[in-house]
Amino acid sequence: MSNTQTTEHFNIIVVGAGHAGCEAALASARLGLKTALFTITLDCVANMPCNPSIGGTAKGHLVREIDALGGEMGRAADKTLIQSRMLNRGKGPAVHSLRAQIDRMAYHNLMKNTVEKQENLFLKQAEITDIIIENGTVKGVKTMLGTQYSCDAAIIATGTYLGGVIHVGAVSYPSGPDSVTPATKLTQSLIDAGVEIRRFKTGTPARVHKRSIDFDKLEEQSGDEDIVPFSFSTKGELRNIAKCYVAYTNEETHRIIKDNIHLSPIYSGRIHAIGPRYCPSIEDKIMRFSDKPRHQLFIEPMGLDTEEYYLQGMSSSLPEFVQLQFLHSIKGLEHVEIMRNAYAIEYDCADPTQLLATLEFKKIKGLYGAGQFNGTSGYEEAAAQGFVAGVNAALKLKGEPPLVLDRASSYIGTLIDDLVTKGCSDPYRMLTSRSEYRLLLRQDNADIRLLPEGHRIGLVSDEAYEHLLKKNELIAAEIDRVNHVNIAPGEKLNELLESLGTDPLNNGIKLSQLIKRPCLSYDLLAPFDKNRPQLDREVTEQVELQIKYDGYIKIQLEQVEAMRRLESKSLPADLDYNTVGSLRLEAVEKLNKIKPLSVGQASRISGVNPADVGVLLVWLEQNRRLDGSVNSEQ
């Protein structure tokens, strides 16, 4: 590009200012890179076009991991939450997940202001229509007005705006979420650059007026009294200041939807894009799960300064008059007023197997993908990818080692490994079941796992790092003490044990052995622990969990060690697998497409079986010996 065409140069340009774009831009700017963040409209920075909630099953893990690494989402969520709950409390700690209802406009305003105030970060309203690539390397971007900006790296975080088309019944029109102008030209620029594009779909429910809801007929869903924050840096008390509710569909609801199913663009064949498997529309739920007599929906406020309520679980692309009919059939919503109708939206996204684990495109240097552009769904998944893409773009330009998280380190590592290794045939959602190491990757220990890495890359302060080191010392010391404390049998202790349905003591026992009993806890046994020190809850929680699950944790650590041994066996990035004898044809095809960087990554590719992995290990050993003999001759 000539200087006459270029308005300004940036180290990094981020296209899209949703949750992925904001995290990417903030991370790169905080690492000292001059960064531009482009958005079609400044009024949709960090917008929540679907439910204004953050967290949820597995998603809460992602938010805490982003925070531990130095990202922004957790801090912003804590400052704007209006109700918070810990999900899955009745299950084990591995699946405990924070979820908070957020004030939508407060979150947008806070995140927009955070971006505006960030040094090295320049927020700009413009539609990007072209990515300028020369000799396989990103050189800049071009706006709809013809203005060009040069850059050293670019991150695509376009969400559902890229080629967005909204569908309601028989009506379809180009649009991004909330009737905002879509990005209509960038897709072709990416295709011209060799990016493989696919078409996905998602949907969102209607928003209804508070005055038209009969709350007396609904189940109230309260928040937790003792709120656990998303951010490890949040101090002070958090409060629940809003109520949420639960309602249910019924036979009449299902009849109305079935009678009108031919009017749904999904079932009439007008929508061909692939929708989310784990967040289906209400018509999908009723048609696919016809044996279920009812489906749950959650009625949740959009914020404190609005009368809009969100009907979680009721996304639909049926005509508006049908939406009104089936909503009126639900107890408590008999007279509900729709303020914003439900809709489905189709959009363009990339096949994520084109990316490295850094989220840089394999074939285009300096171009990164993040968020729904990579085929995922959810604010949290988007923010996690945006953070990783922003950090890696910055680290690469600074000549520093990248941030690559493996599956045993984090849910973020699992998410990215799934995307770049396995790809996704429908919008990817993070689930606890996707992690084979979920007992190690609890949300409560995200700081222990990841804060040192955040400190290494420069996004976590020395003060926060020192606090973690002190916390770890206290945890280790208390576990050692508890392992050596003897508890003698006693009348009061045995009464407690028998009341909880566990065996009384006849002889002395180590305190740690008592804590391991399912019905007992560190705090419950405090009256029988005479020398127990005063420790913060963040310390005692880890003491109890590490003692209770010690055996299981050791087993998972052995599995991690085995996995990392395979990860350490590197494969050439340019290897033609047709030259590796004894591989099956399907494996050759998949390996040549993904180009795994290690045997460990190869083993997770769909279509590569254990026999193929064995072939790769033999091939590596043969080449190692060959290289060794050549070196010895020299």
Each residue of 82-96: pLDDT tens digit?
999 999 988 888 899
pLDDT grade, residue 421 (50/70/90)? very high
Average pLDDT over residues 606-619: 94
Residue type, 331: K
* DSSP code for 183: B
User: For 350, phi and psi rounded to 5 degrees?
Assistant: -105, 155
pLDDT for res 625? 79
**For the chain, where do the domains classified as CATH 2.40.30.260 start and end?**
207-345
pLDDT for res 12? 98
Distances (CA, A) of 139 to 11, 27, 153, 155: 10, 21, 7, 12
Task: Return the SS3 of 1.
Answer: coil
Topology of domain 568-633, per CATH? DNA polymerase; domain 1 (1.10.150)
**For the chain, where do the domains classified as CATH 1.10.150.570 start and end?**
568-633
**For the chain, where do the domains classified as CATH 1.10.10.1800 start and end?**
462-556
pLDDT for res 1? 44
- Whole-angstrom Cα distance, residue 423 to residue 428? 9
| Class of 462-556 in CATH | mainly alpha
Indicate the angle between helix axes 73-80 and 379-398, nearest 10 degrees: 140
CA-closest candidate to residue 29, choices 14, 46, 16: 14
CA atoms within 13 A on the CB side of 121: 26
pLDDT grade, residue 631 (50/70/90)? very low
Residue 275 pLDDT exceeds 90: no
Centre a 10 Å sphere on the Cβ of residue 207 and count the other Cβ atoms it contains. Answer: 18
Q: Which CATH number fits domain 207-345: 1.20.810.10, 3.30.450.20, 3.40.50.2000, 2.40.30.260?
A: 2.40.30.260
Indicate the burial class of 86 (C-beta count within 10 angstroms; 0-12, 13-18, 19 or more): middle
Q: Where are the alpha helices (DSSP H) in 341-461?
A: 379-398, 411-417, 446-457
Distances (CA, A) of 50 to 29, 202, 329, 332, 344: 28, 10, 23, 22, 11
Task: Return the SS3 of 25.
Answer: helix
Tally helices (H) and strands (E) across the chain. 20, 22
pLDDT for res 632? 40
Q: Where are the alpha helices (DSSP H) in 509-609?
A: 511-515, 537-548, 550-567, 585-594, 599-603
- Percentage of the chain with pLDDT > 70? 98
pLDDT for res 533? 96
pLDDT grade, residue 268 (50/70/90)? confident
The strand pair at 35-39 and 6-15 is best described as: parallel
pLDDT grade, residue 373 (50/70/90)? very high
pLDDT grade, residue 4 (50/70/90)? very low
Topology of domain 8-81+112-201+346-457, per CATH? FAD/NAD(P)-binding domain (3.50.50)
